[in-house]
Amino acid sequence: MAKSHSRTFVWEFDAPPEEVWPYLADTARFNEAAGLPNHAIEETPRPDGSVEFRGRARMGPFELVWREQPTNWVAEQWFEHCRIFERGPLARLCAVLRLTPTPEGCRAEYSVEASAKGLLGEGILRQGFFRSTARSFGHQAAHLGAFLEGRQATPFDYTAAPVTEAVRARVDAIVARLEETEHGRAHARRLADYVLGAQEVDLVQLRPLRLARLWGLSERVAVELCLEATRAGLLELRWDLLCPRCRVAKLVVGSLDQLPQGAHCSTCNIDYGRDFSRNVELSFHPAPGIRPLNTGEYCLFGPMSTPHIRVHVTLEPGESRRLDVKLAPGHYRLRTQEPGPELDLETPAEGFPEVVLAPEAITAGAAAPPGELVLSNRLPWRRTVVIEEREWVRDALTADRASSLQAFRDLFSDQVLRPGDEVAVKRVALMFTDLRGSTALYRSIGDARAYRLVREHFALLAAKVRDHDGAIVKTIGDAVMAAFIRPADALAAALQIQREIEAFNAGRPETPIRVKLGLHEGPCIAVTLNDRLDYFGSTVNLAARLQGESQGGDIVLSRTMAGDPTVAALISDLSPCEEQAALKGFDTPVGFLRLRP
């Protein structure tokens, strides 16, 4: 057996483990910054439902081939990752990180253990391997410490490939065009510098909501910036079909009409469908002519690749483990990395229940003492226990949200579904408006003046809808249909519209207008109609019928929408009047609330 060599590197940080973990556990980012090569991954399903992962890379003169072992971790505490080499000078390489709280912050102990394959490998380990690792990793750890103290702008020291003069000139021209647009001004240069200088792991799937969080921007501003940058040629957009388990994009297409009904995740070895409201995500990446990215992974199984997973621990058949784990009370899902049953549960404050892998199910046993976690594998196979938070990817710009933004519909009206294709949307808030007495208005002041007035009213509505993160779906005569991802935004827009209409009328006392307005939210179907994304279903029908109950100057909203907590908070001081009416297409009278802002 080859002799094992090991070293432990200790770094002190003036920050607690929960602040250090997102960076040191982001092994893909850390490895890229440290200059390690990216690699290809081959995934082969096994008969027991698990997957074998084999990595391939070239490092200097060596072609490396290895089998990835499941990475084990407890979030904010430790991780361990091993590779078993089939080709190359090494036989085995393992890395372990442990974070320990200290009075000043925390101590990070990063241990590397390796065994050689033959004399060449033994010489590499004895001569320069650990010195090089200590120098590279130590430099990045020092940079991270300076970042956490506010003395560095980025967590790791990374230098992107040089930019040619031709590309620089092209980017400068794009920035100039972006700064002239409504959505690109103020942040165009910053985005361009980010595209040219950021790490590849940040750019291969550029998420505008993450960018908004990092830069302190509103989410809409960041999304609109990326959309405009795509039109200008700095970025390209992509639609990602995320796996519902690992939440990683396993299928990527460039337009909605290429989106399939589902995909297969070879990592989790499952088939899954598409869900506009959950796992179809709009993201971006640099245009290849601006910043070509390398293909491959810098680390497939780093804990921060799936940050929703709090515990990821492999158990041998019949094994039980007791771990020191601090899991806050909340909603969790218990499962295995391999295909199999799942269990959703809400944990109490007094202790996390034992996680038991049984032949037909995952069960929750007796509660362990606070700060402890018990895992038991009663299966005849090795299994990796996963405890994950149930919240979805917080930075995912889902398709239902993207398609309800005005900038998306204005700039990418060609992004539509295939003819005949339809996608379920779990929840959308819809607004219907119409002008009261528009026929009489045309007759009283003439077609030309009335048309100008109607166009001005359309512009007012469009501005208020956009200001509240909504989008105009279509206009029908003097009527408007708008969509919002959040019902509170729809109501806030409606309230603002009616108030602005009063100000609008104050400047035109001889030709006042009254806007009828109805609101409802719920599930519907997204389709392509007249070359644009549209919505159909009973939710749409009810929103339109409620607009018909409006008298003008008021807002009629469904009881369903009024029951949303965020909406209820807005209407509590508006003295809503409860009514009901028989509406066309509905068998029984429909209740609604009438607001008079």
495 and 577 fall within a common domain = yes
264: containing domain:
165-197+205-286
How far apart CA 68 and CA 64 sit, in angstroms, is 12
> What is the total count of domains within the chain?
4
- CATH number where 444 lies: 3.30.70.1230
319 and 280 fall within a common domain = no
pLDDT in tens, 51-86: 889 999 988 888 999 999 889 999 999 999 999 999
Q: Judge whether 398 lies within some domain.
A: no
How far apart CA 154 and CA 276 sit, in angstroms, is 34
235 and 331 fall within a common domain = no
Q: What is the DSSP string of 71-105?
A: PEEETTTEEEEEEEEEESSEEEEEEEEEEEE-SSS
Q: Whose structure tokens read 């070509």?
A: 292
Query: In this model, does residue 444 exceed pLDDT 80?
Result: no
490 and 437 fall within a common domain = yes
> 529: Cβ–Cβ under 8 A, 6 or more apart, which residues?
none
Tell me the pLDDT band of 37, cut-offs 50, 70 and 90.
Answer: confident
Q: Judge whether 155 lies within some domain.
A: no
567 and 465 fall within a common domain = yes
169 and 141 fall within a common domain = no
How far apart CA 206 and CA 112 sit, in angstroms, is 32
Is there a contact between 525 and 427 (Cβ–Cβ < 8 Å)? no
Q: Judge whether 496 lies within some domain.
A: yes
> What percent of the chain is modeled with pLDDT above 70?
99
Q: Judge whether 19 lies within some domain.
A: yes
Q: Judge whether 126 lies within some domain.
A: yes
What is the model's pLDDT at position 390?
86
Q: Judge whether 409 lies within some domain.
A: no
What is the model's pLDDT at position 391?
82
By DSSP bridging, strand 343-346 and strand 479-484 are unpaired
How far apart CA 323 and CA 318 sit, in angstroms, is 16
Q: Judge whether 484 lies within some domain.
A: yes
- CATH number where 25 lies: 3.30.530.20
pLDDT in tens, 356-402: 999 889 999 988 888 899 999 999 999 999 999 988 778 999 999 99
323 and 262 fall within a common domain = no
Tell me the pLDDT band of 549, cut-offs 50, 70 and 90.
Answer: very high
Query: Strand pairing partners for 469?
Result: none
pLDDT in tens, 333-362: 999 998 888 999 988 777 899 999 998 899
* Domain closes at, from 356, 389, 422: 389
67 and 143 fall within a common domain = yes
81 and 228 fall within a common domain = no
- How many Cα atoms sit within 13 Å of 122 on the Cβ side? 6
Query: In this model, does residue 1 exceed pLDDT 60?
Result: no
494 and 584 fall within a common domain = yes
The two tokens of residue 235 are 């970025």
459 and 523 fall within a common domain = yes
Buried (b) or exposed (e) across 474-508, using 16+ Cβ within 10 A? beeebebbbbbbbbbbbbbbbbbbbebbeebeeee
Residue at 315: amino acid letter = L
What is the chain's mean pLDDT, rounded? 92
212 and 142 fall within a common domain = no
Q: Judge whether 422 lies within some domain.
A: yes
pLDDT in tens, 280-331: 999 999 999 999 998 777 776 789 989 999 999 999 999 999 999 988 888 9
